[in-house]
Structure 1
């Protein structure tokens, strides 16, 4: 039995709650994962995992073993990486996930600088706006917005992003320019004919978890207005949202950096400029209960510099 490999497999199973997720994230055949765990439990003479048809959980003995195993593997990885740092450029592969607009407009254009700094570090870049199970999917870090609900994760702030409410000139020529958010919930000049319902045609960004669109938010002094409105098109991808805005099919809210080139060119126009929406917190997120590798730490430091110019705070 390769005990170090067995320890790594056990840690990944304990964190992901499934043999299959551990096997997939470590690129190891599933029968090998099963045999390694059987050999490890036989070697220790105790049961580390409790298996059900739906999930795998650690036993009380397994929980104690997990705590010591994570420290041991963390120290071992740190020792190896310190030697590598002393001898050569950092090397290896990092798995990162990021939303599509953030990837296409900010991160990807900056990648040549990362390659120049760390030519032996390679990035597997997942581009999506869906929720990511970092541990279960073997992802080192994700760049996401909003509040962090999972307390087992660490979020390092990258930027606070401003929103703007905007639409294409062709849309506004038909529907009119609103002067109060409440107008988005009531008929515009041609709304009934073009949307089939009341109010302006709203572009919705819907949650991948609930399938429901997020409301538009407006604040001015002590007044706050949430608008669901008539969502005529809903998407769950930020690049698709931008394309839909540009198409002229409706009105929506987007990050200022995301629409800035199109505001300058006149393809989009802002409305309700005296109303604001709370800034959107953007963070790089990684697990707190796992050793943060040197290569991931380098990426986190680099990406913080990349996003700093976009901070509207």
Structure 2
């Protein structure tokens, strides 16, 4: 009987944490109540009980506003992790694979969001209607855990040692420019490239870059980038406006190459391919929604022009 009571206490506290997670993620007691299929007074009572158990204020609420305290934001991160661990334990003990469900939070580059990244998300939702997806597009380096995200699709190496990274493959990059700009510049050679205006994409296409030719030779070139941006879309827009020679992945510029809106520059040379990774929070357990998303993303990316998937 004592064992049953203890298990009930554990279950009750897990319910309190689940309620708090819904409150923190939805941003209001009423929305959390709808998500949980209960009433707002019940949600409010659970929040007060959790605050009593922990001995601290988790949320600041008035009739007009609601926000988490520093302690509340910290607990929200822990509650998500605990919820995933509990789901993983339950899944392993049952000996089966859970279906993708819940809310998947993904962070990715803005330039990818207008293409294959959004395609992968819609593919995933079509295959798993019970799943919800929140896709945040940004070209900044973010704290994955603080954002409560489970996946970060990133260009280049993952420098945060606290994250687990999986290499999806290598993306080729070619130099392009508008025909009008190329007529003004005259013949472009690898030797002349440092003297010509280029559009910089920080931190990937700026300063010294490595160029490769068809024979496998490599050459370091210092680019002159009077215009620099950290946005892939902004960089490509500047190239289309004739602001300079710039770099783009084949999948991004292939339609404009076909119509003649842009042309290849130094057709026998290309920039060193860059790795594409997906970064994940540390931990052994991966929710089924994360695995399903990675598979959907790999399927979309494998069809991209200029992308070489990892084996």
Taking structure 2 as the reference length, what is the TM-score of the superposition? 0.69
2:254 to 260, 264, 267: 260
- For each residue in 1:31-62, what CA deviation from the matched residue of structure 2 results, as whole angstroms up to 9, or x when unmatched? x99995884489xxxxxxxxxxxx99xxxxxx
2:219 to 200, 216, 224: 224
Aligned to 1:155: 165
What is the rounded CA distance, in whole Å, between the counterparts of 2:250 and 2:212 in structure 1? 16
- For each residue in 1:138-172, what CA deviation from the matched residue of structure 2 results, as whole angstroms up to 9, or x when unmatched? 11101111112222212222221111011110110
Aligned to 2:289: 295
Aligned to 1:184: 193
Cα 1:227–1:37, aligned 2, differ >3 Å: closer, same or farther? farther
Aligned to 1:129: 139
- For each residue in 1:77-112, what CA deviation from the matched residue of structure 2 results, as whole angstroms up to 9, or x when unmatched? 125567999799642211111112222121223444
Q: Does residue 245 of structure 1 match 2:243?
A: no
Q: Alignment RMSD, CA only? A: 4.0
Taking structure 1 as the reference length, what is the TM-score of the superposition? 0.69
SS of equivalent residue, structure 2 residue 269:
coil
1:205 to 201, 216, 220: 201
Structure 1 unaligned segments of length 5 or more: list them.
13-22, 43-54, 57-65, 187-199
Residue 287 of structure 1 deviates from its aligned partner by: 0.9
Q: Residues 1-313 of structure 1 correspond to what in structure 2 (within 5 A)? A: 3-4=13-14, 27=27, 39-40=53-54, 74-80=84-90, 90-180=100-190, 182-186=191-195, 200-207=196-203, 213=206, 215-220=208-213, 221-229=216-224, 231-289=225-283, 291-310=285-304, 311-312=307-308
Residue 214 of structure 1 deviates from its aligned partner by: 5.3
